[in-house]
Amino acid sequence: MSRLGFMWANLFRRPVRTWLTLVSVMIAFLLFVLLRTVSHSFSEGGGFGEPGIDRLMVSPKYSIIDPLPISALQQIAGVDGVLAVTHGDWFGGVYQDRANFFPKYPVKPIPHFEMYSEYLIDPQHLEAFANTRTGAVAPLAMAVKYGWKVGDKIPIEGDIWAKKDGSRNWEFDLVGTYAAPEDQQQPGVFLLNYAYFDEARDFGEGTVGWFTVRIADTERAAEIANAIDALFTNSLNPTRTMTEAEQARQFMQQIGDIELMMTGILAAVFFTILLLTGNTMAQALRERVPELAVLKTIGFSDGAVAALVLGEALLLCAVGALLGTALAIGAAVVIGPGMEEAMGVFEVSGSTAASALGLSALLGLVVGAVPSFTAQRLSIVDALRKQ
């Protein structure tokens, strides 16, 4: 028996109580690691790529799922200071399995790649994309991930969109791939031909999800955005226009709100755990007063007994944290791939695991401090008399 073994044995004086405490500590740390990983991946990898400072997004004012009429494109193009306009839409849909979650946008091929010139595509691939009704292009990394080759047929089951014949089985011909900027971490977008999509879908013809606008003078971004929105203020489809940078900023703001909420949840959870574990340790200590006196009698110093009691609290918290972190890592492996679309790489980072262990040490110290101090001060003679 080692000292560690002795501490472990002491923890299990009341196995049910210890297991319950251990499980609650474990769940608290599972939550901690998962929430930390969520906010980590939100702020690190997820969301939008590098925003173009000379691009504006024109979205429906009230809900991103409202459609905008494609006829608005001409009006927007006419606004002073606008150089070019393209559009995009949400296709949704599932490739083989729900876990294969990547965005799919119907676009006009040539204007799209002119607008997003940071994405590089072989001119021959672009031409094939423009000229193939059922054509599609994918980011190189996505094609590699799913093992697609140019010429493959990519079946997508429509969830938002059905075809005019009622079928939801869309099929696209992969006619090319394109390269995303090097620093981009999101999985990228599967692009399909808007012309084919618009003609084949069973409703919503002539509408788009959003417009992207390139402006000549970034200093005038706010003014141009206002001018665009003014065009549609009293129409059936009012818009909301902002720079991609502003959109990214708002997105980060939301992440900030989410992080604040998560911090609140975690604080509440850990406060509860603190009370629960603290109570367990205090109760265990009261039951053991005579035993601790015996330890001192047979030669354990005050410091050694205090260290023993503190060590037990640390051990309990550390084991709970290890189990919780292990569980979170396992959960991330299982659910991570499905979440990557929404928030980039979903993987428990070393620093998150390390902060879980650090937090468990802190928890152990706080929970163990008072019992340990009590144990240190315990007088042998008094404790044995009260037996």
Partner 1 sequence: MTVVSCKGVEKTFIKGRESVEVLAGINLEIEEGDFLALMGPSGSGKTTLLNLIGGLDHPSAGSVVVGGQPLAEMSAKQLAKWRSANVGFIFQFYNLLPVLSAQRNVELPLLLTALSSKQRQANAAAALQIVGLADRAKHKPGELSGGQQQRVAIARAIVADPGLLVCDEPTGDLDRDTADEILKLLETLNGEYGKTIIMVTHDPKAAEHAAQVLRMDKGLLVENAA
Ligand X SMILES: Nc1ncnc2c1ncn2[C@@H]1O[C@H](COP(=O)(O)OP(=O)(O)O)[C@@H](O)[C@H]1O
Nearer to ligand X, 309 or 383 (CB): 383
Nearer to partner 1, 2 or 74 (CB): 2
16 binds partner 1 (CB under 8 A): no
One residue of 153, 164, 249, 385 binding ligand X per CB under 6 A: 385
The least CB distance from residue 382 to ligand X, in Å, is: 5
Nearer to partner 1, 12 or 62 (CB): 12
- Which among 358, 292, 284, 369 has a CA at the least distance from the CA of 321? 358
The least CB distance from residue 379 to ligand X, in Å, is: 8
* CB-based contacts of 19-24 (< 8 A; 24+ apart in sequence): 21/276, 21/277, 21/280, 21/316, 21/320, 22/316, 22/319, 22/320, 22/323, 23/320, 24/273, 24/276, 24/277, 24/320
297 binds partner 1 (CB under 8 A): yes
Nearest position to ligand X, beta carbon: 381
One residue of 123, 381, 386, 387 binding ligand X per CB under 6 A: 381
290 binds partner 1 (CB under 8 A): yes
Contact 310, 365 (CB under 8 A): yes
Which of these ranges, 9-17, 53-61, 119-127, 239-247, lies near partner 1 under the rule CB under 8 A?
A: 9-17
Structure tokens at 319: 């084991």
13 to 16, 19, 32, 244: CA distances (angstroms): 9, 11, 28, 60
One residue of 50, 171, 205, 382 binding ligand X per CB under 6 A: 382
98 binds ligand X (CB under 6 A): no
DSSP 51: P
The DSSP-derived string for 225-238 is HHHHHHHHTTSSS-
Nearer to ligand X, 313 or 383 (CB): 383
- Spatial separation of the C-alpha atoms in residues 189 and 142, rounded to whole Å: 9
Cβ burial of 164 (10 Å; 0-12, 13-18, 19+) is exposed
Structure tokens at 235: 């129409």
Which of these ranges, 124-132, 161-169, 324-332, 379-387, lies near ligand X under the rule CB under 6 A?
A: 379-387
Question: What residues make contact with partner 1 under the rule CB under 8 A?
Answer: 1-3, 6, 9-10, 12-13, 290-291, 294-304, 380-381, 384-385, 387
Given the rule CB under 6 A, which residues bind ligand X? Answer: 381-382, 385
